[in-house]
Each structure stands twice: as C-alpha cells, then as structure tokens.
Amino acid sequence: MLRGWFRPLYLLFATLIVGLMYGMGMLAYHHVNYQNRVFPGVRLQGIDLSGLTPEEVFAIAQLQSKYFHLPAITVHAADQRYVFRPADFGVGLDPAETARVALSVGRQGDLQTQIRQRFEAWWHGIDVSPVVRVDGSEIAHIVRHVAKQTERPAIDARIVFEGSIPRASPSQVGRELDEEMAMQLIRSAVLAHRPADIVLPYKTLEPRVASVAAAADEIARILSDDLVVMTPRWDDAGNSLPPLEAFRIRKDNLRDFVLIEQPPDDPANISVRLRREKLRALVEPLSEAVAQKPQNARFAFNPATGQLRAIAPSRDARALDIEATLDALEAAARSTRRVATLVVNITPAPVPATATAQDLGITQLITQATTFFKGSSAARLANVKVAAARFNGVVVPPGAVFSFNEHLGDVSEKEGFQEGLIIVGNRTVKGVGGGVCQVSTTAYQAALRAGFPIVERYPHGYRVSYYERGMGPGFDASVFSPYADFKFINDTSAHLLIETVYDPARVTLTFKFYGTPDGRQVTISPATITDVVPHGPDIYERDTEGEVPPGQARQVDYAVDGATVFFTRVVTRNGETLINERVVSKYVPWQAVYRYGPDFTPPEGAIVKN
C-alpha cells in the first residue's frame, strides 16, 4: 500500500503527465488539423476566421475591402486647409497581406510563444487588423500639388524708379514645404486608422537682400541736382586763376550715370557708384586743355662773373589725373556742394629760375660753332632769327637727350615764321619756315665739336651752299617735324647751357655751349667727297600761279652735283676713346629749275614741263 504522504505526490505527478500528454495531443491535433489554416479564435473585424485557408481568408478580406473605410484626414498647409479621403492617397485594404497576417497567428516565434498565441486565440480570441496598402507615389503627388499652391518665394528688396525718383521696394520672406516630412506625417496618419489633423511643416526662406533703403537714399542724393565739373586755370607765371566750368551733367541725365552693383556671392552688399567709363569719356578730352610740358628756366651766362641770369621763367609740368578726377566726381555726387574740380598733378620743372651756375655746374664755354648764310632771302633771314631765339638759354640736364624739334615747337605764321623755300623730298617748294635747317645745322656742328654722341641726324637731299660755308659739305642737319629730328646726348655730369647769337650784320648764326669741361678731346677730319654724279640739264616749268612776268624766267632751284661725303670724328678723354665714327652723307644730283611766264621760250636742250 502506498503510504499516506506519497499518495498526493503521486496524484500531482499523474495529473501533470496527463495534462502534458493532453497538451501535446492538442498541439499535434492543431498541427495536423490546422496545417495551412487559421487557428481557432482568430477574427478579422469580428468575422471568425477559424480553420479557414489563406484563399478563404483572402476572399473574405477582398469582400471586406469593399466596405472598408478609413477616416478622413485634414491637412493644414500654410493658410490653406485640405480634407482628403484615404483613397485620395491610394490607400486601401491589402487582402493578400491581411490573409498572411491572420495565418501567422500562432506560428511566429519559438514553440512557447506559438502555444501561448494559440491558447490566447482559443481562450480570448485575437482580432487582426486589416493590412492597409499605401501608394507612396500618390502621397508624393498630392504633397507636390499642395506645395505648388502654398509655397512662396523669397523676394529681395530692390530699387525701383518712379520717373527719376528711386524707391525702395520691400523684401518678402518666403516659405518652402518640407515635402519629405509632410509625406511622413500623412503616411503615419493613414496607418493610424483614425481621424487626424495634420499641420504641414514649412521652411522659412529669408530674402538675400532684406533692405535697400540706404542705397535708395544714396541714389536720391546723387540725383538731387546737377553735377558741375570745373577746370583750374593759371596765368603765364603759373599763378592760379579762378576756375571755369568745364561741363555739367544735368540732374535729369544723372540716372544714366548711376550703377547699382550686387556681387553674386554677396547680393546683400549693394553698392552704388557712378559709371566711371561714362564719366571718363567726358573727362579725358579735357586732358589736353590742362596739360603742360615742363620747361626749364632759361639763362644767360656771364663769363666775367661766372654767374647766370634768368631770362625766362621755368614752367611746371601739368597733367590731368583722370582717376583722381573721377574719384572727385564720385565724392561731389554724394555731397551737397555738387561741384568737382579737375585734379591736375603739378610737377616742378627740374631747373627753376632760382638755379645758380654752381647748382648746374656751368663754369665756362665748352665750344661754339658758326654758320654763314649771306645771300639768303629776307624771309629766310627772318626765319633763322625766329628759330634761333627758340634755343637761346636752353638748359640740357646731364644724361638728357636734346631734341631740336621739341624746343623748336610749332613752325607757323602764327608763331612768327614766314613763307620761303623749303626742301620737301626731292623738290624745293614754297613753305613756311625756310631757313630753320640753318639753325639745326649750326646746332649739329656745335654738338660735333663738343664731342657729344649724336642720336639722330639726317643730311639734306642735295647739297646746299649755305650749309657748306665754314666746315664744308657733309656737316648739315635737316629737320622736318615730326618726321626728321636732330638729337644728341649731354653725356657729361654737368648741365649744358645753349646760347644762340644771330648777327644780322655778318649774317651768321653762332651756337655756344656752356658747361663744365671734362677733359675730352675732339678731332674732326675734313670732309672727303666721292662718287660725284653730275647734275642733269636745266628744268623749265610753266608758271601756273601768275608770279612770273611775260617773256621772263625765274630760277627757283640751283644745279648741284650729287656726291657721297664722309668725315671722321674721334673723341677721347684721358687716353680713353669715347667715340670713333665715320659719318657718311649721300646727296642726289640736283638740276637747276626755272619757272617761266607767258611768251617765254626755254633754251634749247632744257627739259620743259608744262
């Protein structure tokens, strides 16, 4: 017999064994009888699905989808309100997925979890939610539609003109729908299966330019009145005179000169300025009116005292500073005075009238050259005198290049020159300034004697007797501005002073060079004439100007043979050769030319040109 204490334990053990066997039997029963079927107690919206196959559940779910309705969703977008049905988003019940979910009850997780789910379904029942299908492309389409209707671009502040008056148009803050977040909110509301109010999120778009009030005020100030430009003036002594108005820009036209700039990388940094190129077109033509080349003072040297006496004042250089003038115009346009003066840079002349002989290193006469031109016409004599005066007292700084044409200046009747005969090309013709080459020839001979390097020199086209009296042929210098010039370098360490002496009694011109001797010695050989080419027969040309009386002829050119002429020049200093040159001049043969009047018969053998 079983003892009393053992019997309860036995009964408990037997009960457990029976329960376990029953449970295993039931599990086996469910496994066999509910294979690929819904376990008991599983419902879909109150409909019992126990024992149904996936196909049967699919049919029920498909039938239910006809009566499946989700609550409406209200969407607040900026200042707009929209009410959408879930179907608008492509939302509906998914029968296949719903059947899969129903069949998965009791079949998920480990064995213990599966048993617990089956028991819970059998004992309490489990309702599965219908699986909702959401079409993301439909949601995206609606979101984009809402964005198009409610978004607003940011508007920059800008300047607008009402006639000639600038106004500041205000900026406007924009908004942009956060489409990704909006789609997430709508999807979540749809899947919640309950009514929802959604406020869509927007990003604030700040304008790049918040305000242009300051720029508009600046433009208004620029356009407030005429802009006047004055030009400074000076008298002959360089003293300032009251300025005169050069031009003015009328206030009604100033708008065309205003430029509003906004850098692409920093559009808020608005700058207002005047269009410099348009202003430059007005300012640049004024350069010539204010420009002045520097001119050293001119002096006379007293050999007895070794001192200088100023005979002409110096002239400072003046040049229009265009960029500074444009800056002044900018400043004036922003001021209440509205007047700008041309900015002129003034550079003092290198040699002022206060310079002394000691300052310039002028101690004595270095050399001189004299040419003779007796027999010249009155016009030629007058021109020699006028031209020579242009060089009297000229100072050439050390290392500087002397230009004959630069100091000669304009050759015109207005400047005191007379009409005479000049050589142009291969013709002797009438022209203003005949005789100027007598002066350039004299200067050339003085520069040769002084031992200066010659930079530029041209012989005449044919030999002229006036230039050969003295040193002989080959020592002439032809000038014709701006094509032919005579230049030399003052290569000494002291200034050079030029003195010209015109002697009407002897009919001579002398160039004297004063400075400081540096020990150079100059040797110039006599001219050598080679390759002589005889001149041709005389030429008779009919007088078409009515200047030659009937039955007469007047000679206008004189016959001279052509030739090649050369000389040598050697310049030394302290045993060192500074210059050793052979100077060659080639002259063409020149025929005598006559002009004849009516009833004149040219001699036999002459060349006649009608």
What's the rounded Cα separation, in Å, for the pair 449 and 182? 102
Look up residue 299 and give its two tokens.
């002096």
pLDDT band at 427 (very low <50, low <70, confident <90, very high): low
Question: What is the per-residue pLDDT across 86-106, written as a single tens digit (0 to 9) for each?
Answer: 778 877 677 787 778 878 888
531 backbone dihedrals φ, ψ, rounded to 5°: 50, 50
pLDDT band at 326 (very low <50, low <70, confident <90, very high): very high
Domain residue limits, the chain: 1-32, 214-347, 361-609
Share the mean pLDDT of the chain: 89
The region, left, alpha or beta by phi > 0 then psi within -120 to 50, assigned to residue 19 is alpha
Mean pLDDT of 522-550: 94
HEC sequence for 274-324: ECHHHHHHHHHHHHHHHCECCECCEEEEECCCCEEEEEECCECEEEECHHH
Mean pLDDT of 125-134: 78
Please give the single-letter amino acid code of residue 380: R
Question: What is the per-residue pLDDT across 561-570, written as a single tens digit (0 to 9) for each?
Answer: 999 999 999 9
Mean pLDDT of 281-301: 94
Question: What is the per-residue pLDDT across 508-526, written as a single tens digit (0 to 9) for each?
Answer: 999 999 999 999 999 999 9
Name the least confident of 73-82, 147-156, 190-199, 344-353.
190-199
Inform me whether the pLDDT recorded for 395 exceeds 90: yes
Please give the single-letter amino acid code of residue 8: P
Tell me how far the alpha carbon of residue 115 is from its chain's centroid: 87
- Position 455 scores a pLDDT of 98
What's the rounded Cα separation, in Å, for the pair 511 and 450? 11
Place of tokens 């030629």: 380
Q: Give DSSP secondary structure letters for 84-122.
A: E-GGGGT-EE-HHHHHHHHHHTTSSSSHHHHHHHHHHHH
CA distances in angstroms from 215 to 218, 221, 256, 268, listed in the order given: 5, 10, 16, 11
What CATH architecture applies to the domain 214-347?
Roll (3.10)
282 backbone dihedrals φ, ψ, rounded to 5°: -90, -30
- Position 12 scores a pLDDT of 63
Inform me whether the pLDDT recorded for 66 exceeds 60: no
Mean pLDDT of 465-491: 94
Inform me whether the pLDDT recorded for 57 exceeds 80: no
Q: Give DSSP secondary structure letters for 313-354.
A: --B-EEEE-HHHHHHHHHHHHTSSS-EEE--EEEE--SS-TT
Identify the residue with better confidence: 476 or 93. 476
Question: What is the per-residue pLDDT across 573-592, written as a single tens digit (0 to 9) for each?
Answer: 999 999 999 999 999 999 99
Please give the single-letter amino acid code of residue 56: E
Identify the residue with better confidence: 165 or 345. 345
Mean pLDDT of 222-231: 93
Who's near 64: CB < 8 A, 6+ residues apart? 44, 45, 47, 93, 130
Inform me whether the pLDDT recorded for 130 exceeds 80: no
What's the rounded Cα separation, in Å, for the pair 585 and 359? 39
Inform me whether the pLDDT recorded for 468 exceeds 90: yes
Q: Give DSSP secondary structure letters for 78-91.
A: TTEEEEE-GGGGT-
Look up residue 102 and give its two tokens.
């129903």
Name the least confident of 64-78, 231-245, 571-585.
64-78
pLDDT band at 8 (very low <50, low <70, confident <90, very high): low
CA distances in angstroms from 207 to 82, 173, 213, 268, 505, listed in the order given: 28, 6, 15, 9, 91
Percent of the chain whose predicted confidence (pLDDT) is above 90: 60
What's the rounded Cα separation, in Å, for the pair 445 and 225? 63
* Alpha-helical regions (H) of 299-451: 322-333, 357-360, 378-389, 404-408, 436-450
Structural Rg of the chain based on CA atoms? 57
Inform me whether the pLDDT recorded for 198 exceeds 60: yes
Contact 508, 476 (CB under 8 A): no
Using CB atoms within 10 Å of the CB of residue 361, give its burial: 0 to 12 exposed, 13 to 18 middle, 19+ buried: middle
Inform me whether the pLDDT recorded for 58 exceeds 60: yes
- Position 203 scores a pLDDT of 95
- Position 429 scores a pLDDT of 66
